[in-house]
Amino acid sequence: MTDFQTPYYRFSDYLKETFGEKVYRVPVDAGFSCPNRDGTKGIGGCIYCDSRGSAAPFVRRDRSVREQIEEGMRRVLKRYKTRKFIVYFQAFSNTYESPDVLEKIYSQVLGFGGMVGVAIATRPDCVDPLKLDVIQKVFEGMHVWMEYGLQSAHESSLAWMQRGHSVDAFKRAVAMTRAYPFRICAHIIFGLPGETPEMMLETVRFLARMGIDDLKIHMLHVLKGTRLARVYEQAPFKLLPMEEYISLICDALEILPPSVVIQRLTGDAPSENLVAPKWILKKQETLSEIREELIRRGTHQGAAWQRVPTTFQTEENKTWRVREEKHEL
Ligand code: SF4
């Protein structure tokens, strides 16, 4: 948990507490598409999305999920001594198929020794109870993370990004998922043009009230070949400098409940594909500066979340408090 050596609740700490040892993710590209690319919701995809749909650079879409897992486990084992893994369905929208097809795809994860969990990244408008039933059935006995891309709690920003879904879609996905024994992870982006620091922190407060379990934050960055790259080239807009981003991340950590597991605080981008800002390539330096800044402030994750006014305690908020107590037991 949070302390002054580790002033926020790192994913690696959560995994160690839960599984008793280090656990590594194996990302796969299961060949899914996305309704924001195939014409159902849009054609060009979200403004920042490249043709690989957030896939890790080394995954091979032309291989089966089983082959990718085998390769991924070998890759991890070359570098680390570990016995436990999580499969990460990362690329595109990993629930964007019928329940029958999903069952076939997901079932390829079964039968690997040491596979303790599965993380499924998707859009909030791509889930329903039938799909969640399949996930529960296939991954029974495993840890499941449903990862929903919200990116911002502001409709104006969702429209700018051409996400093709609303904030309400995210609320519905979270409410639906609460009926299952899954953890809910939200993805958000800081530094969207038109968003003030206060707007970014409002997104974080919104997620705290929604009672999410895990959070991934990254800085808006421009990748080659995206529509965002064309926009940026024609009319460059301000991208947050590293210092501003670090300060905002620390503000965000302070207002998050201490039980929220922080899965990511910086983005990953292959240097050859990155247009700007180049500082996001300094991942370790950024993480270390965030830690240093929290220590300089004498603060930590959750330091301010108790200051949520009591008038703010809606039904959602009560749920969150109960969950908070449960976690600390
Ligand atoms: S929802 Fe995800 S995969 Fe689809 S276009 Fe947006 S970022 Fe890309």
Cα separation, 83 vs 86, whole angstroms: 11
Centre of ligand 1 to C-alpha 253, Å, is: 26
Q: How far is CA 5 from CA 60, 213, 295, in A?
A: 38, 22, 8
The pick from 120, 123, 151 for probing ligand 1's pocket by mutation, whose C-beta has the most ligand atoms within 8 angstroms, reads 123
Ligand 1 atom 3, closest CA = 92
Centre of ligand 1 to C-alpha 169, Å, is: 15
Smallest CA-to-CA distance from 306 within 328, 326, 322, 321 is with 321
Centre of ligand 1 to C-alpha 76, Å, is: 27
Atom of ligand 1 nearest to the CA of 35: 4
pLDDT at position 216:
98
Centre of ligand 1 to C-alpha 83, Å, is: 32
Cα separation, 11 vs 139, whole angstroms: 21
Centre of ligand 1 to C-alpha 104, Å, is: 23
Q: Is 223 in the pocket of ligand 1 (CB under 6 A)?
A: no
What tens digit of pLDDT does each residue of 58-116 get? 778 889 999 999 999 999 999 988 899 999 999 999 999 999 999 999 999 999 999 99
pLDDT at position 96:
97
Atom of ligand 1 nearest to the CA of 44: 5
Atom of ligand 1 nearest to the CA of 163: 6
The phi, psi pair for 227, rounded to 5°, reads -65, -30
Cα separation, 160 vs 152, whole angstroms: 11
Q: How far is CA 91 from CA 17, 34, 247, 321, in A?
A: 28, 10, 30, 33
Centre of ligand 1 to C-alpha 46, Å, is: 5
pLDDT at position 181:
97
Q: Is 124 in the pocket of ligand 1 (CB under 6 A)?
A: no
Q: Is 36 in the pocket of ligand 1 (CB under 6 A)?
A: yes
Q: Is 151 in the pocket of ligand 1 (CB under 6 A)?
A: no
Q: Is 34 in the pocket of ligand 1 (CB under 6 A)?
A: yes
Q: How far is CA 268 from CA 3, 220, 231, 318, in A?
A: 26, 11, 21, 35
Cα separation, 135 vs 287, whole angstroms: 33
pTM of structure: 0.91
pLDDT at position 324:
40
DSSP letter, residue 10: B
pLDDT at position 312:
45
Atom of ligand 1 nearest to the CA of 93: 3
Residues of the chain under the 50 pLDDT cut: 3-4, 307-313, 317-329
Specify burial of residue 146 (Cβ count, 10 A radius: 0-12, 13-18, 19+): buried
Residue by residue, DSSP assigns 213-228 as SEEEEEE--EETTSHH
pLDDT at position 67:
95
pLDDT at position 316:
53
pLDDT at position 1:
53
Centre of ligand 1 to C-alpha 165, Å, is: 11
pLDDT at position 200:
97
Write down all domains in the chain, each with its CATH number in brackets. Answer: 11-328 (3.20.20)
pLDDT at position 307:
46
